[in-house]
Structure 1
Amino acid sequence: MRKIMALLIVLVLCFSSFAYADMNSPYRDGYIEGYIKDKVGDVIQIEEYDGTLHTLPFTNEAIYIIDDRDAKLVDFKSGMEIYATLQGKKINYIESYSTQNPGYIKEGSKIRVGTVKKIDRDQLTLKFSTGDEKTFFTSPATVTIKKEKNVDLNALYVGDRVKLHFDEANSDIISRIYIEGDSILIKNMYKGKIAVPNNLEDNITLENVQYFKNGKWENKEGLKTIPYNNEVPIYIGGQVVPYKNLKYYKGKTAYMVVKGFFGDDKIEKIEKLVIKNQYEATFSDKIEDINFYSENFELKNKRNIGFNDGTIIIKNGRLVDKYSLNPKSDAYIIADGRNNSLMADLIYVYNEDINNSNTGQNHVYSGQLDEIDTYSIKLDDFYVLDKNEWESFNDKKDLYYDEDTYIYDLENKKVIKPQELAAQDYAVDEDSDYAKKKNLRDWYGYIYTDGDRISAIYVQKNMDSLLRQRTTNGLVESVENDSKLGWTLKVQDAKDWSDRKEQWMSKNTSINISIDKALLIKNGKTIKSEDIKVGDRLYIVRDDIYGKVIIVK
């Protein structure tokens, strides 16, 4: 009997080890399996099959094997599936295969890992670490997850790194999409002269360093050393520079974009580097037309500029490839060359919108609450935000709410229940004796919707002057809860939409935004003021310093 009980205990313990992720199991077992998540220098981040992350260095005598042959650490790329043995908390043996196998396949399911190349409604094109591309499909049943929370598919951007899960091995219909967190976002853009490229220590030291802020380059004191290795190609004039030749470019100006390392903003790593070849010219203008065959685009000022695989292109805070450029984009451009022969070294796209792609159906309305019934609202003389401008409609619009709709009364500073919205006097028959006797008028609202469903609505007695309002996008520089002013944001890299010029206009200084009375949205849901963090990208509807609708992108 004791033997049977002992055996049952052992079996329970065995099955428990499979049911729950254990951060320490690789160190007890002496080995680790999974994927290479990220790598800088001689430190590697491995994601186990269950999603647990480990950041590990290597022993001095570590053995590297790819395809059963000796290799070097630099040969191991992000996305590779690996097996490694451990000596304490260091890797002493690691092996992988160079063949295309972006995901671990097990019975009844498969996984694919890559970077989003294109989003077209229900089609999602991924680019794998090998350079190969494949298109997959979403369905109404597809679940999208970011930072362990369910989000709308509209939370996905071109340039995001994702893990796709499939319920059937031979299916291209995605069951679950896991979006990598903020580590995918560009942290800084630098410009400086190459002082000391150190191939042995895998880093580059810059002098005369500048960083990009508020539409211009600002000086940064002292030298700056940034981790770098030959996994990221170096370009000059559209040509790849061998890593071993970087030392010959000492004194040359380099442009680079950096990200946080393993989600740590204090540690930066270079994502892309371009060396200036001839003479610098800068433009802040609209890209009118693009010819991908000849690899050039025409600006609104009729200047033609070339681009290539080496051009640094930043869009929605992410590093993207040249095919992600779109006509009618507003951008800051650094071009290299002379006279009429210019090649873009860097293109920083300003554009933002309410929806991240054509999968989104979110809208922002403002208007008079003409009728309120159970779970429905009729707007009168309403406005809708279209292409960053308020467009008016002398008409009525039916919208629908439910028990999950967030409703806030700005006058009384309180959340109200759906039943209260219908029962109280937020919409009245203004010609009735009841309304005249009590001097009642219809209220107005700022409304954020998913299609015709109201996700959130802020109601107030009087209509704001929408003519005074403008749309702005930018990056949160600081957040402060002032005892007198309330919650206030300082926003850098701000761009205002110009109706007259029909383009985003960069501001040359940071701006302050009061958010105490703003409708705040993130991932399709309302959030609190304290949920906005430094580094968040925002799409803002504002009246001078007063935010009205703020969407965290």
Structure 2
Amino acid sequence: MKKINIVSFLILSLIFTSFSSIASGSTMYSGVSNASAVFLNMSYTDIGSSFARNDIMRMTALSVIRGNGNGLYYPSNKLKREEALAMILRLMGKEKDVQLAQTSRNSNPTAGTSSNGAIDSWAQGVITVAKNTGLLSKQDQSLDFTQYATRQEVANWIAKGINLSPVYGKDAQYVYSYKDSGLFDADKLPYIEATIESSIMSGYNNGYFGPNDSITREQMAAVLSRAFNVAYTMMGYTKDMGYVERIQKDSVNGGTRYTYEIKNDSGQDVALVAENSQSANYDFAVLKNGKAGLSSLISNGDRLTYYTNGSNVIFAETANGSIKTISGTIDSIWQGSFRLVDDSGNSYVIYYNNNTQVTMNSVDASISDLKYGETAKVTVYGSTATRIDVVYTDLSGNGQVSLGDRQDSGKIVDIETDNSQVSITLDNGSTYTVNVDMPVVGTGVSISASDLKVGEYIKLYFSSINTKMPDEIFLEDDYNKPVAVIRGSIAGVSGFNPKVQLNDVEMYRQGQWNATSSYAMYSLDGASVYLDGSKIPVSDISKYKGYDAYIMLENHYGIETATLVSIQSGFNMSYVGDITYDGNIMLVTFDNENDNRQVNVNDGTIILDNGLLVPKSQLSKASQAYVSFSRGGAANFISILDANAPSGYYYAKGKIINVTADSITVGNYYYYSGNEYGDESLNNNEWVANGDETFYVGDKTYIVDNTGTSPVNVPYDEFLKQKYRAANYSSVYIVASDSNAIAVNIRPLSSTDRVSKAVLSSSSGNVLTIDNVMDWNELNNKWELNTSLDSIDATKAVIVKNNKVVSANDLKSGDNLYIIRDGALGIVITVQQ
């Protein structure tokens, strides 16, 4: 007897050890004891030809809808209002409340009419809870709930039930695209728009929505199935996806245990367990290729979407997506997804996970090896990449390749310039060197490598394998182009391609936040989201309704997209001041030298320089900024205000004293008390008298006469007539390099001119829209933010860039401008070299 007990103990130990080895390191979910009943409920006999067959079975398995108990669903029957509300309340996780309300209600068990309208006896609890949860408006409460529900009523109730944010004003577009939009009830429009926008409901193929049409039970199942994808957490479910890597079968307690080992998309090991033995009987319902069953339907390699509640798995379904292959160029890469553009210009957002296999020229690689601009063949199952094959030219041999076969690309994170070369560091860590005058293509204007800025996206092309000197630079001017920094109160997140919804939206401009709209939505395609400096999933944004969000908007193929979202809790403060930065903490000093604050800079801080989103390292090069931060000291937005005066230029103004064949002398004839007041030049941004000064003039010197109503170019030989008093040019503003005049602006001298610096936002003709305008304050000997000046008329200005005169059309957004102006009229404008 003792030997038998020992043998039994060893057998049980081996079984337990085997089971434990599977469980080790895995999150385990056991099936449920009522799985067979769930399977039976899914197995309707009248849905074989229904377009919503899978939706009906799926929603039944997840307890959102039910049949009549005899294996029938009646898919083509029209749905009563009380039935529709009962289904929506189940989706909201309110079925227990309905049952309690029904039990406690003392009402006539037969159908009757209350003061609020007709209700069947079984639905008294449904209507009570629908009122209490706010599904029913006061007007709705007088409806006859025994009559058929309309499509607009269902759309309205769905949106309210699963907390979709209503869409108001100009952002409501879908409802008005239908031919029968005039039939929508005005009070329901914002909620119907939200339901349509979220792809939960849509119109007919003929362009009508049918607001007052009835809805069938199969149509409702399809609607609920799509709504469930948004609201499954309301029923207490957790949803995850992954691939079945192994199925283990064990004999246990006179029966069998099946363990389905899954690697989910987060890289976690998960075990779904079903057992039929003398001591336990649990399983879970499965829907595979349109067939309902239990876990035995699952095969190795299946991609499963599974729903759990606590420690139990309730239901699993295999992915319905077909396998396809797409070839194209990787256009953008984000956490968890990337965009591929094919040869026809079609773009695809494709998701990847830890199970996605990556190869490069058939050699195993990883997701981190993917780069912008690479050519790839992607195998897609549904919308998820199962395999990514990157193809590139073999760079072996004589060290030479065709231009473009070797490429690199990314965002510029650092630029260092000396007299002849520019060192460019990309966000992938690679550093390259180019000549300062190397042309840059892609913008439509003539620029060189010296014009590149931190924060811009570039693509580099090489004709040699190992060189760090590219042969061509392409500046990406259409994608990831900054649009604005905005802030607003979070109203919610909408749609399957999520958009953040904001109330009371304001846009930053020159130290001020200007109201733009009471409500707006922006795509979250590839966005990074932070709460008080800590990164959170995009899906969590809706948890922070009413919080302030600071958002960097960029242009993604014509769509204003939120790329960096910084959510802040608590009170916000903002100041302009001098800054010092040590790599983590920034010290901000305000007008009073003793008044300073320590501000924490984090990965969620939006940092703007020259209108571009830049890394934290740029702060160490800055001396002045606009800083917005929470009471706790976490910075949400910083706009660097430094715009250095262009080096190498000399600025002078004065009366014309003398003109020779190759020079012009400026100064002043007048003397006061023995002090000469000659021409004036800029020294530390202030005009200082110098006596007479001579500048050399040649055929490349640009001379313009702005004494009349319109500018007139003056050839130098014509200008020489001044020498013989044949012309009457009185005074000039000069831009020079050393003593060589680059430009001469003939015009009256102004006693009210002043010096400003700014960043070019855009140009239209000769009108320059500028941002971060700073005026030199001679009294305080410092730059001060000008919040009122937003444009300069450059019609009568000379514009100098790269030591030559250019037109306003040659300027580029983001150029740093040094401006001598009289009010909003430009006199001299130079661009930082």
- TM > 0.5: yes
Q: Decide whether aligned partners of structure 1 residues 119 and 60 sit closer, same or farther in structure 2, where only a CA change above 3 A counts.
A: closer
Shift of 1:152: 4.1
Q: Tell me, yes or no, if the aligned pair for 2:374 and 2:391 is still in contact at 8 Å.
A: no
Structure 2 residue corresponding to 1:464, chosen from 750, 773, 778: 750
Rounded to whole Å, the distance in 2 between the matches of 1:478 and 1:138 is 29
Structure 2 residue corresponding to 1:424, chosen from 721, 732, 740: 721
- Hey, what does 1:310 align to over in structure 2? 604
- For residues 230-262 of structure 1, what are the alpha-carbon distances to aligned partners after superposition, in whole Å with 9 as ceiling and x for unaligned? x43222232222334333333321111102222
Rounded to whole Å, the distance in 2 between the matches of 1:333 and 1:458 is 38
Q: Which moved more, 1:306-315 or 1:138-147?
A: 138-147
- Hey, what does 2:565 align to over in structure 1? 273
Q: Tell me, yes or no, if the aligned pair for 1:472 and 1:542 is still in contact at 8 Å.
A: no
Letter in 2 for 1:245: D
Rounded to whole Å, the distance in 1 between the matches of 2:773 and 2:706 is 27
Letter in 1 for 2:628: I
Structure 1 residue corresponding to 2:491, chosen from 167, 175, 195: 195
Q: Tell me, yes or no, if the aligned pair for 2:564 and 2:606 is still in contact at 8 Å.
A: yes
Q: Tell me, yes or no, if the aligned pair for 1:59 and 1:92 is still in contact at 8 Å.
A: no
Letter in 1 for 2:749: M
1:234 aligns with 2:513: no
Q: Decide whether aligned partners of structure 1 residues 77 and 347 sit closer, same or farther in structure 2, where only a CA change above 3 A counts.
A: farther
Q: Tell me, yes or no, if the aligned pair for 1:188 and 1:257 is still in contact at 8 Å.
A: yes
Rounded to whole Å, the distance in 1 between the matches of 2:815 and 2:384 is 36
Shift of 1:270: 1.3
- Hey, what does 1:345 align to over in structure 2? 636
Q: Decide whether aligned partners of structure 1 residues 318 and 328 sit closer, same or farther in structure 2, where only a CA change above 3 A counts.
A: closer
List aligned pairs for 1:274-423, cutoff 5 A.
Answer: 274-287=566-579, 289-292=580-583, 294-300=584-590, 301-326=595-620, 329-338=623-632, 342-355=633-646, 361-367=648-654, 372=659, 377=664, 381-385=678-682, 388-394=685-691, 396=693, 398-399=695-696, 401-403=698-700, 405-411=701-707, 413-421=711-719, 423=720
> Residue 352 of structure 1 aligns to a residue in which SS?
coil
Letter in 1 for 2:756: T
- Structure 1: segments with no counterpart, 5+ residues: 1-29, 49-53, 429-433, 481-486
- Hey, what does 2:241 align to over in structure 1? none
- Structure 2: segments with no counterpart, 5+ residues: 1-324, 361-366, 668-677
> Residue 133 of structure 1 aligns to a residue in which SS?
coil
Q: Decide whether aligned partners of structure 1 residues 160 and 372 sit closer, same or farther in structure 2, where only a CA change above 3 A counts.
A: farther
Letter in 2 for 1:291: D
Rounded to whole Å, the distance in 2 between the matches of 1:124 and 1:510 is 33
Shift of 1:320: 0.5
> Residue 275 of structure 1 aligns to a residue in which SS?
strand
Rounded to whole Å, the distance in 1 between the matches of 2:500 and 2:575 is 28
Rounded to whole Å, the distance in 2 between the matches of 1:47 and 1:281 is 46
Rounded to whole Å, the distance in 2 between the matches of 1:138 and 1:450 is 24
Shift of 1:369: 5.1
Q: Decide whether aligned partners of structure 1 residues 66 and 391 sit closer, same or farther in structure 2, where only a CA change above 3 A counts.
A: farther
What's the Cα RMSD here?
A: 4.6
Rounded to whole Å, the distance in 1 between the matches of 2:813 and 2:548 is 30
Structure showing greater Rg: 2
Q: Which moved more, 1:502-511 or 1:189-198?
A: 502-511
Q: Decide whether aligned partners of structure 1 residues 386 and 172 sit closer, same or farther in structure 2, where only a CA change above 3 A counts.
A: farther
Q: Tell me, yes or no, if the aligned pair for 1:351 and 1:504 is still in contact at 8 Å.
A: no
1:256 aligns with 2:551: yes
Rounded to whole Å, the distance in 1 between the matches of 2:371 and 2:458 is 13
Letter in 2 for 1:463: L
Shift of 1:107: 1.0
- For residues 409-432 of structure 1, what are the alpha-carbon distances to aligned partners after superposition, in whole Å with 9 as ceiling and x for unaligned? 2236421224434x321xx4xxxx
Q: Tell me, yes or no, if the aligned pair for 1:280 and 1:337 is still in contact at 8 Å.
A: yes
Rounded to whole Å, the distance in 2 between the matches of 1:221 and 1:386 is 44
Shift of 1:144: 3.7
- For residues 303-361 of structure 1, what are the alpha-carbon distances to aligned partners after superposition, in whole Å with 9 as ceiling and x for unaligned? 222212221110111110111114663221111134xxx12111012232343xxxx64
How many residues are treated as equivalent by the alignment? 474
Q: Decide whether aligned partners of structure 1 residues 219 and 395 sit closer, same or farther in structure 2, where only a CA change above 3 A counts.
A: same
> Residue 469 of structure 2 aligns to a residue in which SS?
coil
Q: Tell me, yes or no, if the aligned pair for 1:125 and 1:134 is still in contact at 8 Å.
A: no
Rounded to whole Å, the distance in 2 between the matches of 1:115 and 1:61 is 22
Structure 1 residue corresponding to 2:414, chosen from 118, 122, 142: 118
Q: Tell me, yes or no, if the aligned pair for 1:375 and 1:418 is still in contact at 8 Å.
A: no
Rounded to whole Å, the distance in 2 between the matches of 1:394 and 1:183 is 52
> Residue 578 of structure 2 aligns to a residue in which SS?
strand
> Residue 617 of structure 2 aligns to a residue in which SS?
helix
Q: Tell me, yes or no, if the aligned pair for 2:425 and 2:431 is still in contact at 8 Å.
A: no
Shift of 1:133: 1.7
- Hey, what does 2:758 align to over in structure 1? 473
Q: Decide whether aligned partners of structure 1 residues 498 and 527 sit closer, same or farther in structure 2, where only a CA change above 3 A counts.
A: same
- For residues 433-471 of structure 1, what are the alpha-carbon distances to aligned partners after superposition, in whole Å with 9 as ceiling and x for unaligned? x66xx7x887443334566654433224x4333x64232
Rounded to whole Å, the distance in 1 between the matches of 2:522 and 2:494 is 10
Q: Decide whether aligned partners of structure 1 residues 402 and 172 sit closer, same or farther in structure 2, where only a CA change above 3 A counts.
A: farther
Q: Which moved more, 1:304-313 or 1:166-175?
A: 166-175
Identity between Structure 1 and Structure 2 (%) = 21
Q: Tell me, yes or no, if the aligned pair for 1:210 and 1:218 is still in contact at 8 Å.
A: yes
Q: Which moved more, 1:34-43 or 1:248-257?
A: 34-43
Q: Tell me, yes or no, if the aligned pair for 1:36 and 1:79 is still in contact at 8 Å.
A: yes
> Residue 562 of structure 2 aligns to a residue in which SS?
strand
Higher relative contact order (CA 8 A, sep 6+): 1
- Hey, what does 2:186 align to over in structure 1? none
Greater share of strand residues, 1 or 2?
A: 1
Shift of 1:386: 5.4
- Hey, what does 2:129 align to over in structure 1? none
Q: Which moved more, 1:140-149 or 1:252-261?
A: 140-149
Rounded to whole Å, the distance in 2 between the matches of 1:329 and 1:61 is 42
- Hey, what does 2:541 align to over in structure 1? 246
Q: Decide whether aligned partners of structure 1 residues 478 and 149 sit closer, same or farther in structure 2, where only a CA change above 3 A counts.
A: closer
Q: Tell me, yes or no, if the aligned pair for 2:327 and 2:342 is still in contact at 8 Å.
A: no
Greater share of helix residues, 1 or 2?
A: 2
Q: Decide whether aligned partners of structure 1 residues 238 and 512 sit closer, same or farther in structure 2, where only a CA change above 3 A counts.
A: closer
Letter in 2 for 1:159: G
Q: Tell me, yes or no, if the aligned pair for 1:406 and 1:526 is still in contact at 8 Å.
A: yes
Rounded to whole Å, the distance in 2 between the matches of 1:450 and 1:167 is 37
Q: Tell me, yes or no, if the aligned pair for 2:434 and 2:449 is still in contact at 8 Å.
A: no
- Hey, what does 1:548 align to over in structure 2? 827
Q: Tell me, yes or no, if the aligned pair for 1:142 and 1:174 is still in contact at 8 Å.
A: no
- For residues 258-300 of structure 1, what are the alpha-carbon distances to aligned partners after superposition, in whole Å with 9 as ceiling and x for unaligned? 02222x3xx201121111033211112221x2222x5332324
- Hey, what does 2:473 align to over in structure 1? 177
- Hey, what does 2:372 align to over in structure 1? 79
